[in-house]
Structure 1
Amino acid sequence: MAIVTISQKGKELEAQQAKQVADLLQLPYVPRRGLSLPNLQAQYEGEDVLILSKKGPKLYTGEGKAHEFHLSMAQLRIIAYDRGQCDHLIRALGNETVTSFLDCTAGLGSDSLLVSYARPDIKQLVALEGNPLLAYVTNYGCRHFVHKSEAVTMALRRIQVCAIRFESFLKQATTNSFDVVYFDPMFEVPVKESPQFLSLRGHVLATTMTEDILQEAKRVAKQRVIIKERPFSSVFQSWTPTYMEGGTYSNVAYGVYEI
């Protein structure tokens, strides 16, 4: 089981906040007592550590630096989008009006942020993350991160992060409750990733796409289901999309399954 603690310089206020977060996540709170993160993690058999500090929460997995919320690749994609460059995910949304979007694999929140920024007409944008610690960090960023661009800040605020596995969420969801349902599962063949994500690989819940999951997603979606994968992925070979966005000159493709 993962644990919750505070930063080395954390005071009583941070300790109280950490205890509240531990109760919220139903995880044990562990006093820091000057221990380094590797030593603290070793005492708890390598479990992930959520650290509360004045600057916000961080997630330590034992690989690289502790992860804290950052715009990551979304920053570069937003800049490119503002310059008029094509973004294949935004094109995959189609030309219909989209008012609701379900991101089944939130992770760092990059895709949800780009969609929220590019399509501010979306009224309901729900992002699901099965790892409760990562969900907490991402949700904190969406609620508190302030960008120099007010439009980016507002795009973050429109994202509703939920700590739940998408399999469970989809089963409970009402038919046709979201215009678009989106998946970015762990690639079968990895591509070069941002340094920020490398420390999280193996700690983000990896779920293989199945026929049942795709059918549930189609039931929940009004317009389309979008899956991000490598162009040659077995996912696209097993279930042929209506059409693909990207892939020809890109390492990734977006398979669009129209309803």
Structure 2
Amino acid sequence: MSTIVTTAGRTNEEFIENAKRIATELSIPYMKRKKQSVKTMQEAYQLDILVVNKERLELHAYGVTTPFFFHPNSAAFRLKRLLKGEHDVFLQATNLQKGDRFLDTTAGLCSDSIIAAHAVGDTGNVLSCEVNGMIAYIVFKGLKNYQTEFNELQSCMRQVDLVHQDALEVLKVAESNSYDVIYMDPMFDEIIEESSNFETLRKIGEHSLLTEEWMEEAKRVARKRVVLKAHFRSEQFQKFGFRQFERQTSKFHYGVIEL
């Protein structure tokens, strides 16, 4: 056991029942808040605390100062730019088309998957894999329940299918050429200071580097291309034969293997 569930400071019977239901779904204990601060509960139990608020779930990881919760993040303003006719470098790298099948092997907050959903449209398919169970649960609930007046954004979030699975295991059982684009955005092996909003995600998420097996399976399953996003100094571009798209004003680059 590494996590317990509780409610927000101000709660009612509805929130309590919801917290208990979530605890049952995740097979982890529910603890009454008893007007304690999250920090006090963390110190008492020395565990992560999943707080059930009215509008979202917040994971307060033990020893981390900022909580992890779902938010469409950069996908919101990126989508607004796309609707104005501006370009998106992720879509340039993936070259997604209407009706394409897209597999994101490193879901995280699913920002890129949301943009992919816009690109492939209603006839396409977007599947995202997240190996960390708690991140997967919080983001899955966020994708399905987050409310916004930005209708296109909400539609794209609902279209993303997020699964709690190891990406390599998903690739191994997938048929050859069954996805048009395979995408991978592993935790950067070098910290990008401007990305401070990902502090908690970096600390609780998986930090797996690409492997030969992962790459071979990705190339087998992809019909059009495999795309990597990584720090511009990453050795993975050259190691695995990616054609690196250099971006002078950005600390991360995209790499493409066309099939």
Normalised by the size of structure 1, how large is the TM-score? 0.90
Paired with 2:122 and 2:253, the residues of 1 have a C-alpha distance of 25
2:142 aligned residue: 141
Q: Is 1:103 aligned to 2:90, yes or no?
A: no
2:4 aligned residue: 3
What stretches of structure 1 of length at least 5 have no aligned partner?
none
In the comparison of the two structures, how many residue pairs are matched? 257
Q: Is 1:55 aligned to 2:55, yes or no?
A: yes
Contact 1:131 1:163 in 2 (8 A): yes
Aligned CA distance change for structure 1 residues 161 and 71 (closer, same or farther; 3 Å): same
Any idea what the Cα deviations from partners look like across 1:102-128, whole Å, max 9, x if unmatched? 111111111111211233255221111
2:203 aligned residue: 202
Any idea what the Cα deviations from partners look like across 1:50-104, whole Å, max 9, x if unmatched? 1112212111124233233222122232233334333221011226655211111
1:174 aligned residue: 175
2:228 aligned residue: 227
Normalised by the size of structure 2, how large is the TM-score? 0.90
Which of the two has greater helix per residue?
2
2:185 aligned residue: 184
1:117 aligned residue: 118
Paired with 2:113 and 2:164, the residues of 1 have a C-alpha distance of 15
**1:201 aligns to what SS in structure 2?**
helix
Q: Is 1:67 aligned to 2:68, yes or no?
A: yes
Any idea what the Cα deviations from partners look like across 1:197-256, whole Å, max 9, x if unmatched? 122221111111111111111122222111101233110121121x33343442211111
Paired with 1:246 and 1:3, the residues of 2 have a C-alpha distance of 44
The CA RMSD measured in Å over matched residues stands at 2.0
Paired with 1:10 and 1:134, the residues of 2 have a C-alpha distance of 24
Paired with 2:137 and 2:170, the residues of 1 have a C-alpha distance of 17
State the identity %: 31
What stretches of structure 2 of length at least 5 have no aligned partner?
none
Contact 2:97 2:119 in 1 (8 A): no
